[in-house]
Chains A and B, each alone.
Chain A
Amino acid sequence: MITITNLSKSFQLSRQQKKEMGNAQHGDTVHAVKNISLTCQPGRVFTLLGPNGAGKTTTLRMIATILKPTSGSIVVNGYDTVANGKEVRQNLGFLTGSTGLYDRLTPDETINYFGRLNGMDETTLQRRKKELFDLLGIHEFAHRRVGKFSTGMKQKVSIARTMIHDPQVVVFDEPTSGLDVIAAKSIIELIRQCKRDNKTVILSTHIMSEVNMLADDLAIIYRGDLIYNGLFTDFKQGMREATLEDEFIRMAQEHEPATI
């Protein structure tokens, strides 16, 4: 379970960043996330929807302890992300669209590496690795170096790496971006499996079809503000536009009409 309370994150801009942003930026600070509160329950897929630069990744990075909140708190399975970072990470898996693998290591070595870093004992690690390799069909290329793998093969290894320590909370940050249809489908299936396994799943995306397919709960984030937070079924019932895309645009316009 993830509980986010009054979460904000600001970044101080360097002179170079201000120059690059030009007139679009006033002042020295960017407020990436503004006072948001939400709860993600186990056995449900919590979908975070928003355009690029809305603050989705910043929020997920704070959940994953990569970034520290400017104010507010995040509690993951009972652990505060600032005070108990290690415990949070032990309970967490993080998967992005970028596979982020080591080209010169084999899948077997990669999984051993992350399993050991996550404090797994050797017997559990080997058993869990075998299960994942069976499930994902990695055995046939388990001892070849990752460098020359196809995107799909890399994505399988990336999934195994994320799930090796059987995390109770799984964070998906735009996990299908840049992937072909087959690789994207394996991610969708993984998210469904996590839900069936009663894991807490938070999925960040800007792809409406994925929201339609997977979401139990929905939060829409726009320019750092949370402009919707509730059940996805309620959201669909209350839609004033015909499609999810149009509804999303309408809500964003309401929030900041001059910029849409």
Chain B
Amino acid sequence: MKNIFTIFSKEIKDILRDKRTLTVMLLIPLVVYPAIFIGITKYMTAQNEKAVAETLRIGIISNGNQSDFETFVSTMPNTKISAIGDTTAAKEAILSDSIDVAYFFPEGFDSAVAKLQGTGFQYFYTSTNNEFEVAIIENINTVYKQALVKKKLAQIEVSETVLEPAKSISRNLASAREQLGSVIGGILPYFFIIFCMIGCMYPAIDLAAGEKERGSLETLLVSSASRIEIYTGKLMTVALSGFLSAMASIVGLIISGQIIGSDTASGDEMGQIAKVLSDILEPGSIIMMLVILLPLNIFFAAITLMLSIYARTFKEAQSMITPLMILIVFPTIIGMLPGVTLDYTTALIPILNVSLGAKEIISGTIETGPLLLTYAALFVYAAIALIISVRFFNNEKNILRG
């Protein structure tokens, strides 16, 4: 036990002095990712505000109609109306970016509307316009058509209720946490699963393949420490590194959530999501997630250490362990998809069960049965990975392969 602690302390000191490991383990999840998250959110908010403030330039080809479209549009904020001669001029004006949209009303549009003969108008735009502009144009069309219907119904003295004799009114009983948690909940496990793995990778490579390559493993094996003590000391270091990295990613997310939440308008979607993300991470949820994370952490540590022990060199270990990221990202992303839930089958699939379990813990919809099965499955997988990994370390062929 004393030797395990001696090895563990030395390895921790060693990796804390390694700038590369520190960067990957702490700096990226704690600073870089939140900075990117905050940066993207701020950029999107700025773009949104810019688009809302921008004037929509509307051209109208009236063809002699005295439609109230122009009057209707002029009441809308940030619009500028101009008359256009024909569709050719309208297309040119759009392509040369002197207007954003052109409305074409055919001859006899007014009388056709008045007589309920059925008619239509065309509008020209480019779909490459920014999405806010397109949304405003579509909103104008919808509201204008609703206004025409309302006006017509009033003329013929029919109540608007004829269009919707019975309204369906939804009363969603899901809490805000459940509603947003099911969406946001997918992001969190993605972060901590990925960073748990990344946090394990570099120390595992350095502590086994790196030591082998430097020749220090042989001298360590000749010390009085037993193989299992050496292995345990190294495994604890790798697991702690993965755990710290995962925690750093969660802390990074909470911090960025609070920064964004306090800095954006209440109606802003990203701001809302970020705020809920930080609000729903209460101690109970965090503890439950940690219990899920722990066996996964040992599972990752054992696998990465096993591959690193087998590898001849640092480089070979890197090329063996890096593709594992794809295997991990795949079930993690599946866990983020809507409709995929934790049940007695998915609880048995490693990584996917953590992704789904964490998602449902966050949204508060977790059921005891699948959760317990997830814990059991994870502990079994971690134990299997550990047994295989210890065998690898005890195999002299792997230890001296080089």
Contacts and interface: CB of A to CB of B under 8 A. Distances in A.
A165 B223 CA distance: 10
Interface stretch (A96-104, A209-217, A234-242, A250-258): A96-104
Given A94-B219, A100-B216, A114-B219, 6 more contacts: A65-B222, A101-B214, A101-B216, A114-B223, A117-B6, A117-B225
B224 A113 contact: no
A118 B223 contact: yes
14 contacts: A64-B222, A66-B399, A66-B400, A67-B396, A68-B396, A86-B224, A86-B226, A96-B218, A100-B214, A113-B10, A116-B2, A117-B7, A117-B220, A165-B224
Q: State the majority secondary structure of interface residues on B.
A: helix
A68 B216 CA distance: 20
B160 interface: no
Interface of B: 2-3, 6-7, 10, 13-14, 17-18, 214-226, 396-397, 399-400
Contact of A116 (B6, B13, B219, B221): B6
Contacts of A117: 3, 6-7, 220, 223-225
Nearest to B5: A116
Contact of A100 (B6, B219, B226): B219
Contacts of A27: none
B215 A66 contact: no
Given A94-B219, A98-B215, A117-B6, A66 B396 contact: yes
A36 interface: no
Interface string A60-97: 01001111100000000000000001100110101010
Contacts of B7: 117
Report which residue of A89, A116, A117 has the largest number of chain B beta carbons within 10 angstroms of its beta carbon.
Answer: A117
Given A104-B14, A117-B6, A117-B7, A89 B215 contact: no
Contacts of B218: 66, 94, 96, 100
A94 B396 contact: no
Interface of A: 11-12, 61, 64-68, 85-86, 89-90, 92, 94, 96, 98-105, 109, 113-114, 116-119, 145, 161-162, 165
Contacts, number: 76
A11 B12 CA distance: 35
Contact of A113 (B6, B215, B217, B222): B6
Contact of B400 (A67, A86, A101, A119): A67
A162 B216 CA distance: 12
Contacts of B13: 104-105, 109
A94 B219 CA distance: 7
B400 A102 contact: no
B144 to A, nearest CB: 71
Contacts of A89: 222-224
Contacts of B18: 104
Closest 9 CB pairs of A and B: A100-B215, A98-B215, A100-B216, A117-B223, A104-B17, A94-B222, A118-B224, A100-B219, A116-B6
A98 B223 CA distance: 16
Nearest to A103: B214
A208 to B, nearest CB: 25
Nearest to B3: A117
A83 B349 CA distance: 42
A11 B224 CA distance: 25
A133 B3 CA distance: 24
Contact of B224 (A12, A90, A100, A102): A90
B344 to A, nearest CB: 41
Contacts of A11: 397
A105 to B, nearest CB: 7
Contacts of A162: 219
B6 A99 contact: no
A99 B223 contact: no
